[in-house]
Amino acid sequence: MENRGEATPGEPESATTYTSSSATAVAGSPDGRSRLYPSRSTLIGTTSVCLFALVWQGLASSGVIPAVVLPGPLDLVARAIYLAGPSSNPPFQLEGDILLTLSRLLGGFAVAALFAVPVGIVSAVSRPIALVLMPFVGVFMAIPALAIVPILMLLTGIGNATDFTVVVVTAFIPIVVYVYDGVRMIDRKYLWTSRSFGARSGDVFWHVIVPAAIVPLLAGFRMGMGYAWRSLIATESLTALTGGLGYTIFQASQFFDTRTIYLYMVVTAVLGFAIESAFRAAEIRTAVRWGTLASGKR
């Protein structure tokens, strides 16, 4: 959103009012009450999750399924309180793992995006470059991330570098592919129009290509993040010295510590959901607000 200020130079306060109210109307109920009361869809979603937890707890408490196979939500809460406290080993293990995994994920993702977006755009704009680069993208797309982990461990050791590199590599490919396709689909008249205003390459990039391809761009980010997230958790369990959510899940499985496994699964799901929500929010603040992407509300 950083180019919004430049998009409407010198706009008075009323502009801000207009845009924020329209964003609210899109994000929540049309009457704009969504800031004060949870929307109906949020209520329904929360209710169904709570019901699920209740049934789960009932099943676990009834003893039909042994607690080792299926610990209940209350067990997980207790476990979470312990692992998040000072008496776990290492202390504050849960927070530590979340921080480690997230920093690898976000750091690696940022590096991937930083290179993948320009590569995708340049390939889309220049046919010779596409002819040189795209075969590699096709080949790398066909290699599962975990297949390169052994080689990365040889190259970079069983430390942070391997986890980090896996994120970079797995996020890179889908971002390039989506950006490449997205930019190629931009109506050339946008580029013509901007150039007929004397726009320079940098201006065309920031003011035209990026916003015009925002939907496929975000889709590529989403895919890249999704791939990277899965590969990272798996890789952490292989790079046995480095900690992180995947590592702890793997360790717990060695001791049949199912409560920790389930707890980390829930944590993984919640973090994944939060990341997905962030992308959805980015979509609502851009393409949905501009009217170029349906809000998806029915």
Partner 1 sequence: MTAGTMEQGMQRTSGDVSSERPDAELGAAVPKVIEARHVRKIFAGTHGEPAVVAIDDISFDIRRREFTVFLGPSGCGKSTTLHMIGGFEQQTEGSLLLNGQAIRGPGPDRGIVFQDFVLFPWRTVLGNIAFGLEMMRCFTRAEISERARHYVEHLGLAGFANAYPSTLSGGMKQRVAIARTLAVQPEFVLMDEPFAALDAQARDRLIVDVSLIANEQNTTFLFVTHDIREAIRLADRILVFSPRPARIVESIAVTLPRPRDAYSAELLDVDRYMRSLIGTSPED
With contacts defined by CB under 8 A, name the span among 61-69, 116-124, 257-265, 284-292 that binds partner 1. Answer: 284-292
Q: Is 289 in the site for partner 1 (CB under 8 A)?
A: yes
CA distance 114 to 194: 24
Task: For the chain, report the end-to-end CA distance as a whole number of angstroms.
Answer: 26
CA 45 to chain centre: 21
Q: Is 281 in the site for partner 1 (CB under 8 A)?
A: no
Q: How far is the CB of 291 from partner 1 (least distance, A)?
A: 3
Q: How far is the CB of 192 from partner 1 (least distance, A)?
A: 5
Q: Is 211 in the site for partner 1 (CB under 8 A)?
A: yes
Q: How far is the CB of 134 from partner 1 (least distance, A)?
A: 18
Query: Do residues 59 and 48 lie in contact, with contact meaning Cβ atoms separated by under 8 Å?
Result: no
Of 20 and 277, nearer to partner 1 (C-beta) is 20
| HSE (side-chain half, CA atoms, 13 Å) at 109 | 21
| H runs (alpha helix) in the chain | 4-7, 13-27, 40-62, 73-83, 93-125, 127-141, 145-156, 160-184, 188-196, 201-203, 210-212, 214-238, 245-254, 258-283, 289-290
Position among 25, 103, 133, 195 found at the interface with partner 1 (CB under 8 A): 195
What is the footprint of partner 1 within residues 2-31 (CB under 8 A)? 6-11, 14-15, 18-19, 22
Q: How far is the CB of 34 from partner 1 (least distance, A)?
A: 20
Q: How far is the CB of 23 from partner 1 (least distance, A)?
A: 11
* Number of residues this chain uses to bind partner 1 (CB under 8 A): 34
Query: The tokens of 173 are what?
Result: 């490919």
CA distance 283 to 218: 7
Which residues of this protein are in contact with partner 1, per CB under 8 A? Answer: 6-11, 14-15, 18-19, 22, 187, 189-190, 192-200, 203, 207-208, 211-212, 214, 286, 289-292
